[in-house]
Amino acid sequence: MDGTGMDLQRHAVRRIRHELRRRTLTVVSSELLTPRMRRFGFTSPDLHDFVSASHDDHIKLFFPDDGADGHRGETCMRDFTPRRFDTSRKTLVIDFALHEAGPATRWASSAQIGDTLQIGGPKGSAVVPDDFDWYLLIGDETALPAIGRRVEELRAEVPVATFVLMEADETQDFQTRAAWTPHWVARDGSSDDTSLLRTALSDYTLPAGDGFVWIAAEASVARSVRSHIINDLGHPGNGPRPPATGSRDRPTPTKRSRIEWVVPAPG
């Protein structure tokens, strides 16, 4: 127990290292989930021992650059979340957020059944146990693969609320046993991302018990939302994990942060 009465041993995050190797995958399916999100199904004999132990793991995808960004002949790497995988069937599902530019978007826009793609990783996993009393997951559309995977993998009836910032036509449905309450925060063309998320969260009341909060967004947005939850809404944090940075698929990558922390039960 710590000073709040929380059982930190029960809620301990496990860190797992994985063997780094490249795998060559073949596209077997392609589905447009929303106007800006395409889902690809892959298969490969190399997936027989693929491991992804956490909902927000990152794998590297390797794209041949076509020169549109001034780097013809170079291999471009981008981070993606394994949305779903099955080692017995040797399959992997990856969702692509389609932006206005970048090698990943160009590949996803033209990929056909039978095309191949190389991946690497994940390098490691930070496994948050499914033993909290509730979960709060916040992010933009780029975080949807990780949010969707977590919602679908949680145990039956555990409360999980999601706040996702997106365009009005980008909502998704997740099949889950958890008690999921989605909040879709649509951009209005005038308000900035931080203001929209802070406003949406203002009326949210955390459930009773020990909880876990996870945020993934552009770095300034993630920091501001965390500050709003802790300082303005009065929901204390207990030891946030250091933020991990990545990039969207843009010619000039935008710094992103993943921030998570524990909210102890009152008293």
18-50 pLDDT per residue, tens: 999 999 999 999 999 999 999 999 999 999 999
φ/ψ bin of 133: left (φ > 0), alpha (ψ from -120 to 50), beta (otherwise) = alpha
Residue bearing the bigger pLDDT, 75 or 39: 39
230-253 pLDDT per residue, tens: 888 776 665 444 333 333 333 334
Residue 78 has pLDDT above 60, yes or no: yes
179: which strand partners?
159
Q: Which two tokens stand for residue 128?
A: 């948050």
Provide the pLDDT confidence category of residue 256 given band limits of 50, 70 and 90: confident
Burial of 253 (0-12, 13-18, 19+ CB in 10 A): middle
Residue bearing the bigger pLDDT, 218 or 250: 218
Residue found under tokens 């095309």: 115
185: which strand partners?
165
Region 162-176: what's the mean pLDDT?
A: 95
**Among residues of the chain, what percentage have pLDDT more than 90?**
69
Q: How far is CA 47 from the centre of its chain?
A: 21
Q: Report pLDDT for 68.
A: 60
Give the span between the Cα atoms of 74 and 141, in whole angstroms: 28
Give the span between the Cα atoms of 124 and 129, in whole angstroms: 16
Q: Report pLDDT for 4.
A: 52
The per-residue pLDDT of the chain, averaged, comes to 87
Enclosing H/E stretch for 106: helix 103-110
**Residue of 154, 175, 174, 176 whose CA lies nearest to 164:** 174
